[in-house]
């Protein structure tokens, strides 16, 4: 699933081509995504000038004059720019055609993403109860420490809770916990303030670096420019169960936490 760095990479890739452009029409080939695409999306968006391309958690917010298109990439979705008239392949469900001669094309083989329309996107039920952005000033290790008190939940699913902080998905939670030297199985409430302060910094550092590297290429992901991400080449633990730790040489172990695979180093993480 595309995580926050992949979504931010997509936002940065498509933004220069969308800002200030007017939509000429919306071509819907398939409406049946996780939630049906509004039947009148072409009426709502055609003729509108795009004023901003923003991100909230893993949602892209394409703001037009009269409303906002909320886009979620689901398990395997992508948004990229193509020249008008480019033949659509299978799973290329939507084209948002621009007067510039380009089209923003939405592709989703598993159809688990979403394209929704809202007048008040931040008040939408999908976004209204989200926690702070991990790279913003309202998130740090102190927040993790305070929210974790009395919690018996393992620390990895705790930091993946979108009410605690948004966008720390499976890949980056695994990598941040390794960098902070914290065993993902530890009870969230048992970890000290000092260790949470370090974990908060590692979450910020790793997410920022992953964005610079264009995200992580896993299965279908490509950025808005059609190029893959490169952070996967630098993963320390995610997806490496049974391999050697790059730091100490120990064999990495894999367990299930919250029904998600979690890989950790039994020597480096405690």
Q: What is the CATH number of the domain that holds 218?
A: 1.10.8.50
Rounded to whole angstroms, the Cα distance separating 173 from 179 reads 10
52 domain-assigned = yes
Residue 127's pLDDT is what? 97
129 assigned to some structural domain: no
What's the pLDDT at 225?
47
Residue 224 · residue 81 · CB < 8 Å: yes
Q: Which is catalytic among the residues 11, 55, 58, 80?
A: 58
Q: Per DSSP, what are the bridge partners of residue 244?
A: 251
Query: Span 233-258, mean pLDDT?
Result: 94
Q: Which of 2, 5, 121, 134 does the annotation list as catalytic? A: 2
Number of H helices, E strands in the chain: 6, 10
Does residue 159 share a domain with residue 116? no
Q: What is the pLDDT at residue 231?
A: 52
Look at residue 130 and tell me if it is in a domain. no
Q: What is the pLDDT of residue 232?
A: 56
Q: Any catalytic annotation for residue 146?
A: no
Give yes or no: 5 in active site. Answer: no
Of 123, 149, 172, the last residue of a domain is: 123
Verify whether residue 58 is a known catalytic residue: yes
Number of domains in the chain: 2
Could you tell me the residue range of the domain that residue 52 belongs to? 4-123
Q: How confident is the model at residue 233 (pLDDT cuts 50, 70, 90)?
A: low
107 plus 173 within the same structural domain: no
pLDDT above 50 (res 217): no
Q: How far is CA 216 from the centre of its chain?
A: 11
Q: Which long-range contacts (CB under 8 A, 24 or more apart) does 239-248 make?
A: 239/263
Q: How confident is the model at residue 228 (pLDDT cuts 50, 70, 90)?
A: very low
Q: Among 255, 254, 257, 252, which residue's Cα sits nearest to residue 267?
A: 252
H runs (alpha helix) in 51-169: 141-148, 155-159
pLDDT tens column, 27-51: 999 999 999 999 999 999 999 999 9
Q: Indicate whether 165 and 85 sit together in one domain.
A: no
Among 9-13, 84-88, 209-213, the range scoring the smallest mean pLDDT is 209-213
Across 109-119, average pLDDT: 95
119 and 145 in a single domain? The answer is no
Q: Is 91 annotated as a binding residue?
A: yes
pLDDT at 160: 97
Residue 134 within any structural domain of the chain:
no
Task: Confirm whether residue 93 is marked as ligand binding.
Answer: no
Q: Are residues 153 and 252 in the same domain?
A: yes
Q: Label the pairing between strands 50-56 and 59-64.
A: antiparallel
* Cβ-contact 223, 197 below 8 angstroms: no
Query: Does the pLDDT at position 116 exceed 90?
Result: yes
pLDDT at 229 over 70: no
Active site residue 2: yes
Q: Which of 3, 97, 175, 202 is catalytic?
A: 3
Catalytic residue among 34, 213, 253, 260: 260
Percent pLDDT > 70 in the chain is 93
- Whether residue 146 is found in the same domain as residue 118: no
Question: d(Cα 166, Cα 153) in Å, to the nearest integer?
Answer: 17
Mean pLDDT of 224-246: 75
> pTM, whole model, 2 decimals?
0.88
Interval 163-181: pLDDT, tens: 999 999 999 999 999 999 9
Residues 6+ apart with CB under 8 A from 258: 154, 156, 157, 160
Is 56 annotated for ligand binding? no
Instruction: Give CA–CA dist 79/82, Å, rounded.
Output: 10
**91, 160: one domain:** no
For residues 223 and 231, the model is more confident at 231
Please state which of the ranges 61-65, 141-145, 168-172, 266-270 shows the lowest mean pLDDT.
168-172
222 has pLDDT over 70: no
pLDDT at 213: 81
Mean pLDDT, to the nearest integer, of 151-161?
Answer: 97
> What's the chain's average pLDDT?
92
Other Cβ atoms less than 10 A from the Cβ of 243: the count is 11
| DSSP category for residue 244 | B
Q: Take residue 35 and report the two structure tokens written for it.
A: 């939630």
């Amino acid at each position: 699933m595309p995580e926050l760095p992949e979504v931010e990479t997509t936002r940065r890739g498509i933004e220069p081509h969308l800002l200030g452009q007017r939509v000429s029409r919306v071509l819907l080939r398939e409406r049946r995504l996780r939630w049906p695409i509004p039947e009148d999306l072409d009426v709502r968006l055609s003729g509108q000038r795009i004023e901003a391309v923003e991100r909230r958690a893993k949602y892209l917010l394409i703001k037009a004059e009269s409303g906002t298109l909320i886009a979620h990439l689901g398990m395997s979705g992508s948004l990229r720019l193509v020249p008008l008239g480019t033949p659509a392949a299978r799973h290329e469900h939507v084209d948002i055609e621009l007067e510039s001669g380009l089209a923003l094309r939405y592709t989703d083989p598993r159809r688990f993403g979403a394209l929704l329309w809202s007048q008040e996107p931040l008040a939408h039920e999908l976004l209204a109860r989200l926690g702070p952005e991990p790279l913003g000033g309202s998130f740090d290790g102190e927040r993790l420490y305070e929210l974790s008190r009395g919690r018996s939940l393992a620390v990895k699913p705790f930091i993946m809770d979108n009410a605690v902080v948004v966008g720390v998905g499976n890949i980056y939670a695994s990598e941040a916990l390794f960098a902070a030297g914290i065993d993902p199985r530890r009870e969230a409430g048992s970890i000290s303030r000092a260790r949470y302060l370090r974990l908060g910094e590692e979450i910020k550092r790793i997410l920022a670096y992953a964005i610079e590297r264009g995200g992580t290429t896993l299965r279908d992901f490509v950025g808005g420019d059609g190029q893959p991400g490169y952070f996967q080449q630098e993963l320390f633990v995610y997806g490496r169960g049974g391999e050697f730790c790059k730091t100490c040489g120990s064999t990495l172990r894999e367990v299930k936490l919250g029904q998600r695979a979690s890989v950790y180093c039994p020597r480096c993480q405690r």
